[in-house]
């Protein structure tokens, strides 16, 4: 397939590489071309702007940071997309925006799927992401060669916006899990126990989780290198709080702690830096 890509960052770049390694013809547009020079050296095409990108491809994948970035990118794309094309937004974004874009695309005979992913940078690098897709089932099935290039678990979640809604549910669970890990570590420390016992003794039991296994040790080592940025996680949690659902008490607590960390300069650290809020305030 001829695939265009916008957003070759910490997640997008390895996803692009997987597409290339699976034999797809991949074209990338980046606002800062110097950041994708390595992709060019690997045989991936770099285009100077969005119109040039669209002219070379049949499918567009986007993986940008925030809903406003999604809106801005698609405002430009809608000027040059051709009827019959398909766009897949892999950004974790607002379900309402996903529905809006799907409707706008349909008016132009363009299929737009929302397909947020989970699995972090490790999943992107290993090609083991979980992909949560909203939109027409036929379009979902036709894009399977793209999804299977970097996805291990690939799910059609329903109509437009459904992929985003399931991803937000994922982020709610992660937020509360991270909070629980930090509280458990703090409890052990207060009881005179080594918090590392939480990982050693509990990671394979009922309280085990991928967050504990992947990030617990990093918390204890004060290793805050980002697999997923705090600033992006806060964006996701704000979307959760904006959905007019039941009160999300756990999310409200966690987001306050993360906003405090952002004020302290932790916005581009990994989500495991939540432990810093407990070391400071608990």
* 79 part of the active site: no
Please answer whether residues 155 and 82 qualify as being in contact, where contact means their C-beta atoms are separated by less than 8 angstroms. no
Please answer whether residues 19 and 146 qualify as being in contact, where contact means their C-beta atoms are separated by less than 8 angstroms. yes
Selected catalytic residue, list 35, 40, 103, 167: 167
Report the C-alpha gap between 239 and 244 in whole angstroms.
10
> What stretch of H or E contains 44?
none
Please answer whether residues 117 and 123 qualify as being in contact, where contact means their C-beta atoms are separated by less than 8 angstroms. yes
**Helices (H), strands (E): how many in the chain?**
14, 9
Please answer whether residues 31 and 50 qualify as being in contact, where contact means their C-beta atoms are separated by less than 8 angstroms. no
Q: How many residues does the chain have?
A: 282
Task: Tell me which residues are annotated as active site.
Answer: 167
């Amino acid at each position: 397939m001829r695939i265009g890509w916008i957003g070759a960052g910490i997640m997008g770049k390895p996803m692009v590489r997987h597409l290339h390694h699976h034999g797809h013809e991949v074209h990338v547009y980046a606002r800062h071309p110097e950041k994708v020079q390595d992709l060019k050296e690997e045989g991936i095409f770099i285009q100077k702007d969005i119109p040039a990108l669209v002219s070379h491809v049949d499918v567009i994948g986007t993986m940008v940071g925030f809903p406003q970035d999604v809106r801005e990118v698609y405002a430009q794309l809608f000027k040059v997309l051709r009827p019959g094309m398909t766009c897949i937004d892999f950004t974790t974004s607002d379900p309402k925006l996903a529905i809006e874009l799907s409707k706008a695309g349909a008016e132009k005979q363009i299929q737009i799927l929302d397909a947020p992913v989970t699995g972090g940078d490790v999943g992107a690098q290993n090609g083991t992401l979980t992909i949560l897709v909203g939109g027409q089932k036929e379009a979902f099935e036709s894009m399977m060669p793209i999804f299977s290039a970097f996805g291990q678990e690939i799910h059609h979640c329903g109509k437009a916006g459904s992929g985003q809604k399931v991803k937000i549910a994922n982020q709610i669970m992660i937020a509360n899990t991270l909070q629980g890990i930090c509280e458990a570590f703090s409890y052990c420390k207060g009881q005179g126990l080594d918090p590392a016992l939480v990982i050693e003794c509990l990671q394979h039991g009922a309280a085990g989780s991928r967050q504990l296994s992947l990030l617990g040790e990093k918390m204890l080592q004060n290793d805050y290198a980002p697999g997923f940025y705090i600033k992006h996680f806060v964006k996701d949690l704000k979307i959760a709080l904006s959905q007019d659902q039941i009160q999300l008490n756990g999310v409200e607590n966690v987001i306050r702690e993360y906003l405090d960390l952002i004020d302290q300069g932790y916005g581009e650290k990994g989500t495991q830096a939540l432990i810093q809020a407990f070391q400071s305030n608990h």
